[in-house]
Structure 1
Amino acid sequence: MSSALAIGAVSAVLRNLLDNGLVEAGAAMGTSVAVSAVAPDTIDLDNANDPPRLNLFLYRVTPNRGWSNVDLPSRSGVSGERLSNAPLALDLHYLLTAYGKADFQAEVLLGYAMHLLHERPVLDRAAIRRALNPSPLDVSMLPPTFQALAASDLADQVELIKVTQEALTIDDLSTLWTAIQTNYRPSSAYQVSVVLIEGTRPAVSPLPVLSRGERDPATHRDRGVQVTPDLLPPLPTLFTAETEFPQTGARLDDLVTLSGVRLAGTGHEVRLNHRLFSAPVVLAPTAVDATGASVTFRLPNDLPAQGALASGQLAATVRFTPLGESRPRETNAIPLIQAPAPVIAADVALGLPAATVTRAGVPPLVTVTLRSRPQVRPEQSAILSLDSMTANAQPRTLPTDPLVFEFPDTLTAGSHWVRLRVDGADSVLLDRTGPFPVFDPTQQITVPP
């Protein structure tokens, strides 16, 4: 594959091809011909001493559809490791323009150039190498940019470079030259395909597969394809995460049941991941269903858990060794909503003070200061609702800093129902332990007059 220098290398090869082939055109016009690869608006047309010019302008780069899905995906969906260096496949679109000051010079020059590209629809590897490394010339004598193009590896890519004339309509040409902001000159458009740019970073290359599943230790033969007489997934799979009582999320100290299939085995551990975790939080289950239908665990509510866990959407998986197998497996990840719990009354066990509410300032504001279980990290958003009125948390530096909310003075005095939303996860306001849902009386705060 080519390197990132391939686009410039293609322009250099095409310019070299035109430059070498226009020797005859220079003799026909009685003067030398300049070949360039610059933007048309940078060409000075006022200098009478300038020779006729042929200019190659790269005006557009598009993805190549034939190579767009090759070697994808290029990263592991689980660990994020690079599996392959997927090529960047591009088609290059050029505008070939002839400039001449005398009668018929531009037409003659454009005719020669178009015939040259017509006769060379494919740029062979030898021609590319000669153009980018013009032996016997000393490459160090050439401009630094051209010296760098010799390392593009354009000649070694798997696809040959093909040059095809493109038909542009009057509207296309009008739009293009208007965008260039210069006067129109006789032109022809070409598509060059395909340029394959590939990275060189190390990738993970797995060894060949020797067996399908576990092998018999005596015969070393694999067990073959296993067939399950049902429509359930053949591998350990999680379906849902449910709390003991139906609610919007799981709070610290809640029991959570992960339901699924084929969860029977040994060495179970529940893994919880979050976008802010550097590593998953690993918990031991409190119960595993003998039929492999569920795994139950309790979210910890001790002091370390306040900083280790985070409110919002967690990804829950179960890692264990299935029955009849010797290696552990990890299930699919399912969402688990970790609900924040605003600390309204003091929590002596965790050393968390009670929430405070003040009305002061000019103009007066109602300031609510409280903490949450688990802690709210500075990267997370927090919104507090008192009945139907909401306020955003003030900026914080550390997770241990309290949450401070400022409400307008129009907030009435008296008791208000409290709801805390962190990263879209709401605290639990409803109590569903009884025969019908009611507001949890502990989720109230009093605003002074």
Structure 2
Amino acid sequence: MSNALAIAGVSAVLKDLLDSGLIDHQVTDALGAGVLVSSLAPDMVPISGDGAVPRLNLFLHQVTPNAAWRNVELPSANASGRRIRNPPLALDLHYLLTAYGIAELQAEVLLGYGMQLLHDNPVLSRAAIRAALNPSPVSGALLPTVYQALRSADLAEQVELLKITPTAMNAEEMSRLWSALTAHYRPTAAFQVSVVLIESQAAAVSPLPVLTRGQRIPPLIPGEPEREEGVVVTPGLVPPYPTLESVNVAAHETPSTLQVGDLATVRGHHLAGTSRFLVLRNDVFRLAHEIALPDGSDDTVLNFTASLPASLPAGLYRLELRVLRPGEAAPRTSNPLPVALAPVITFPPVAMTRSAGNTLSLRIGFQPEVRVGQKVALLMDTREAPAQPFNASTGALDFNFADAPPAGATPLLRLKVDGIESIAIDRGARPPVFFSHRIKLPV
């Protein structure tokens, strides 16, 4: 595969193809003047004065994804976000070939030769690419700096050869393009070069080859080698692997939400076994906490208490079950189930004061602790106040409410950490009711 220098490398190869072709066809003799091949933006090409000379100009005006290659080697990462392969960045390059002349018919002559050269070379060979980017016997030190860098583009080593295809642009498209370029129009032909494959060199995780499908089992004939167990076929629509479907807490019945100390029920299938652990993973802080479970024979339900350390912050987690299933030699890990760990306010508040300017200051205790970088806010009924700045993990923070409600009011408090609110509703009641998370405001 090529690298990030491949796009510039293609322009350099095309420029070399046109330059060499014009020399071979002795175009200078036909025009009676020297010819220049450039790869500038059209608005940078001089069309008058001393810099105006007969020239062919290449301009890369658009880069598009290649439809045939864009899904190759995907996905590039596994479920945990680790890179498992480097899919190529497949691109089609769209060029304008423009002819400039300083005398009558010069532009037409140059455009004709340029289009013929591209037509005669519809595929750029690896030898032509190497000769253009690493000319011999010319020393690389004599080349301009950018051309010295292009020698390492690896363009000739990519698996696909570069193909040149003419494309049609109608008058409206051409007019809009040249208007956007703020340049004077000259005879122009459009063409496409496909496909450039740019591949990253980032490290990836590569799985080992498969030795056997299933376990080794005794041979049918004594003395023969052991056999593969083969693919296990299970009739039915339920896969025979540990699967978590839901987590519920009877104390509040908030879907997929836990608080520290909750007694939770997880439902699924194929949950029975030994050496069982529930694992809570937080991708933001790269944390993993294991909760040991007793061995069990119930395949559909398991109960656990969320006895979590104070250092495990509120936020979004992935809940997984690791279990050694009956009759198996290695433990299995279930699917990840998204779960929110909600903060819990400690009542009553640590401190409440009201200033002469009617600003209410509250110091609220809570669990688990919040970490530096987490966004914390306190909601008092419909009012919201951000936490005062803190520079270390803490279980208590200060909040200020300007123009506070009058003394004696009993607003409902909710704490929000990284967008996850403390649980304020008992959804198990019929109809649902608020928990008694209210305070009485001071004078």
Q: Check 1:215–1:87 CA distance in 2 against 1; reply closer, same or farther (3 A cut).
A: same
Q: 1:438 Cα shift?
A: 4.2
The two structures have a TM-score, normalised by structure 2, of: 0.92
Select which of 412, 419, 429 maps to 2:414.
Answer: 419
Contact residue 275 and residue 295 of structure 2 kept, 8 A: no
List per-residue Cα deviations over 1:32-82 (Å, max 9, x = no partner).
10111111111222224643111101111111001001111122223x332
Equivalent residue number for residue 383 of structure 1: 377
Contact residue 271 and residue 302 of structure 2 kept, 8 A: yes
Q: What is the distance in 2 between the residues matched to 1:323 and 1:270?
A: 18
Q: What is the distance in 2 between the residues matched to 1:49 and 1:293?
A: 82
SS at 1:445 equivalent:
coil
Contact residue 250 and residue 428 of structure 2 kept, 8 A: no
Equivalent residue number for residue 46 of structure 1: 48
Matches within 5 A, 1:305-344: 305-307=309-311, 309-344=312-347
Matches within 5 A, 1:164-179: 164-179=165-180
Q: Check 1:104–1:241 CA distance in 2 against 1; reply closer, same or farther (3 A cut).
A: same
Q: Check 1:206–1:217 CA distance in 2 against 1; reply closer, same or farther (3 A cut).
A: farther
Q: Which amino acid aligns with 1:291?
A: D
Matches within 5 A, 1:10-25: 10-23=10-23, 24-25=26-27
Q: What is the distance in 1 between the residues matched to 2:429 and 2:94?
A: 71
Select which of 261, 268, 276 maps to 1:260.
Answer: 268
Q: Check 1:436–1:141 CA distance in 2 against 1; reply closer, same or farther (3 A cut).
A: closer
1:357 to 2:358 alignment? no
Contact residue 411 and residue 440 of structure 2 kept, 8 A: yes
Q: What is the distance in 2 between the residues matched to 1:437 and 1:49?
A: 82
Note the residue ranges of structure 2 that are not aligned, 5 or more in a row.
220-224
Select which of 300, 304, 322 maps to 2:307.
Answer: 300
Equivalent residue number for residue 222 of structure 2: none
Q: Check 1:409–1:116 CA distance in 2 against 1; reply closer, same or farther (3 A cut).
A: same
Matches within 5 A, 1:12-411: 12-23=12-23, 24-48=26-50, 50-78=52-80, 80-216=81-217, 220-248=226-254, 249-285=257-293, 287=294, 289-300=296-307, 305-307=309-311, 309-345=312-348, 354-360=349-355, 363-400=357-394, 402-411=396-405
SS at 2:110 equivalent:
helix
Q: 1:206 Cα shift?
A: 2.1
Contact residue 340 and residue 426 of structure 1 kept, 8 A: yes
Contact residue 243 and residue 256 of structure 1 kept, 8 A: yes
Q: What is the distance in 2 between the residues matched to 1:402 and 1:448?
A: 20
Q: Which amino acid aligns with 2:298?
A: T
The two structures have a TM-score, normalised by structure 1, of: 0.91
Note the residue ranges of structure 1 that are not aligned, 5 or more in a row.
346-353
Deviates more, 1:226-235 or 1:264-273: 226-235
Q: 1:420 Cα shift?
A: 1.7
Contact residue 123 and residue 162 of structure 1 kept, 8 A: yes
SS at 1:416 equivalent:
coil
Q: Check 1:426–1:204 CA distance in 2 against 1; reply closer, same or farther (3 A cut).
A: closer
List per-residue Cα deviations over 1:215-274 (Å, max 9, x = no partner).
337874333332334321221111011113343232111111221111121111110012
SS at 2:258 equivalent:
coil
SS at 2:373 equivalent:
coil
Q: Check 1:205–1:273 CA distance in 2 against 1; reply closer, same or farther (3 A cut).
A: closer
Q: 1:376 Cα shift?
A: 2.1
List per-residue Cα deviations over 1:345-377 (Å, max 9, x = no partner).
3xxxxxxxx42221115x431122112111122
Q: What is the distance in 1 between the residues matched to 2:395 and 2:291?
A: 27
Q: Check 1:96–1:369 CA distance in 2 against 1; reply closer, same or farther (3 A cut).
A: same
How many residues align structurally? Answer: 433
Q: What is the distance in 2 between the residues matched to 1:36 and 1:310?
A: 60
Contact residue 288 and residue 294 of structure 1 kept, 8 A: no
Moved over 6 A (4+): 432-436
Q: CA RMSD in A?
A: 2.1
Q: Report % sequence identity.
A: 45
Q: Which amino acid aligns with 1:446?
A: K
Q: What is the distance in 2 between the residues matched to 1:76 and 1:335?
A: 17
Contact residue 214 and residue 325 of structure 1 kept, 8 A: no
Equivalent residue number for residue 445 of structure 1: 439
Q: Check 1:433–1:48 CA distance in 2 against 1; reply closer, same or farther (3 A cut).
A: closer
Q: 1:27 Cα shift?
A: 1.0
Q: Which amino acid aligns with 1:275?
A: D
Equivalent residue number for residue 350 of structure 1: none
Q: Which amino acid aligns with 1:283?
A: I
Q: 1:147 Cα shift?
A: 1.3
Q: What is the distance in 1 between the residues matched to 2:171 and 2:396?
A: 66
Q: Check 1:146–1:431 CA distance in 2 against 1; reply closer, same or farther (3 A cut).
A: closer
